[in-house]
A and B are shown apart, each in its own frame.
Chain A
Amino acid sequence: GQSLEQPSEVTAVEGAIVQINCTYQTSGFYGLSWYQQHDGGAPTFLSYNALDGLEETGRFSSFLSRSDSYGYLLLQELQMKDSASYFCAPRGAMDSSYKLIFGSGTRLLVRP
């Protein structure tokens, strides 16, 4: 079966660090993507981890542990504009093709 868990909401203070966790179960696993979506906007790609470890892109980092079926998105030096929903999306196999599976996302609220 397939399942995906991430917290529904996270609140943090401007300038702080926040970690958004994601646990997943898929039929076949190829990698974990993260997308950001501001209210009223379209999702935009943030990062992709195919291998274990930490990938850093500016203030954002993403981590993957394939053995634990676990990943997280780390946002540093939080800014007000980081208030958005964040989706982890494992890429699993479905009927011999590769599909992104999106969960309900984590709504991040950054407070002054």
Chain B
Amino acid sequence: DAGITQSPRHKVTETGTPVTLRCHQTENHRYMYWYRQDPGHGLRLIHYSYGVKDTDKGEVSDGYSVSRSKTEDFLLTLESATSSQTSVYFCAISESEAGELFFGEGSRLTVL
């Protein structure tokens, strides 16, 4: 199994508070991704990174920011959480741009 961990695994927060989710990998893969999964919508790409300090937006990036200061860590930040951001967030890594994705176990976020 790919060495990828997400933290926290579960979080409940209130509307308007900042939240940061962390993805940590031990595989030294170049590419890292943040997806959200909601019923009826499958997996939607939020942001991705193709190297340290190199990030780009996905299809649902509004309200989210990311940072990657080290190869192994990819942080997803909700500056001011809203109830619409209640979701399960998955981090994924891949060795190459066209390679298969290895997913973390997910972080369940509830915004009240």
A contact residues vs B (CB 8 Å cutoff): 30-31, 33, 35, 41-45, 48, 87, 91, 95, 97-100, 102-105
Contact = CB atoms under 8 A, between A and B. Distances in A.
B43 A45 contact: no
A27 B50 CA distance: 21
A42 B106 contact: yes
B73 interface: no
Interface string B32-50: 0001000011111100101
Nearest to A85: B42
A43 B103 contact: yes
A102 B102 contact: no
Nearest to B104: A42
Contacts of B35: 102
Contact of A98 (B43, B58, B98, B104): B98
Contact of A42 (B41, B42, B45, B105): B105
A102 B103 contact: no
Interface string B72-103: 00000000000000000010000001101111
Contacts of A30: 98
Given A33-B100, A87-B42, 6 more contacts: A35-B101, A43-B43, A43-B90, A43-B101, A44-B103, A98-B97
Interface of B: 35, 40-45, 48, 50, 56, 58, 90, 97-98, 100-106
A45 B98 contact: no
Contacts of B56: 95, 97
A104 B100 CA distance: 19
Nearest to B97: A98
22 contacts: A33-B100, A42-B105, A43-B43, A43-B90, A43-B103, A44-B103, A45-B100, A45-B101, A45-B102, A87-B43, A91-B98, A95-B56, A97-B50, A98-B97, A99-B45, A99-B48, A99-B58, A102-B35, A102-B43, A103-B42, A104-B40, A104-B41
